Amino acid sequence: MSPTGPLASSRRPVRAALAACAFGIVLLAGCATTTDIRTTAPPPTQLLSSATLELPRDCAPPRGAIYRTRFVVQPDGGVAQTASESGDGCVQQALREWVSSFRYTAVADAVPMVIDWMEVTASRGG
């Protein structure tokens, strides 16, 4: 049973306004556009070969030290612009020489890369 009288007529404009708002929200939601925020990843690189990393006998990296070397893979697959972020000691020199020996598959454009290295030792038969 629906109410009658002056109170019933004052509810109709409120209901109509709520219905109009709901319809407007649905209409606006249907008009919203989505933005594709994905970025294109650089083409994958594939390491084909590298020399063996050799540290000089008198070169002892401190336990837990991490060494970062940046370089650029050239379109022909060679490596250029090797640079150590942590100075110019014997470990850094060995890492730059090792990274310079890397050969990759050819890429369309030069690709900046980074490698982190840390010496890990463990006892045998533990």
CATH code of residue 63: 3.30.2420
Q: Is the dihedral of CA 7, 9, 10, 12 positive or negative?
A: positive
74 located within any domain:
yes
Give CB contacts under 8 A, 24+ apart, made by 7-14. none
105 located within any domain:
yes
* Residues shown for the chain: 126
Give the C-alpha separation, 26 to 21, whole Å.
Answer: 9
Number of domains in the chain: 1
Q: What integer pLDDT is reported at residue 124 of this predicted model?
A: 78
pLDDT level of residue 10 (50, 70, 90 thresholds): low
18 located within any domain:
no
28 located within any domain:
no
> Is the CB of residue 109 less than 8 Å from the CB of residue 126?
no
Task: Say whether pLDDT at 109 is over 90.
Answer: yes
63 located within any domain:
yes
> CA nearest 64: which of 100, 116, 125, 114?
116
Range of the domain at 91: 47-117
Q: pLDDT tens for residues 11-31?
A: 555 565 555 545 555 545 555
86 located within any domain:
yes
37 located within any domain:
no
29 located within any domain:
no
Give the C-alpha separation, 23 to 88, whole Å.
Answer: 68
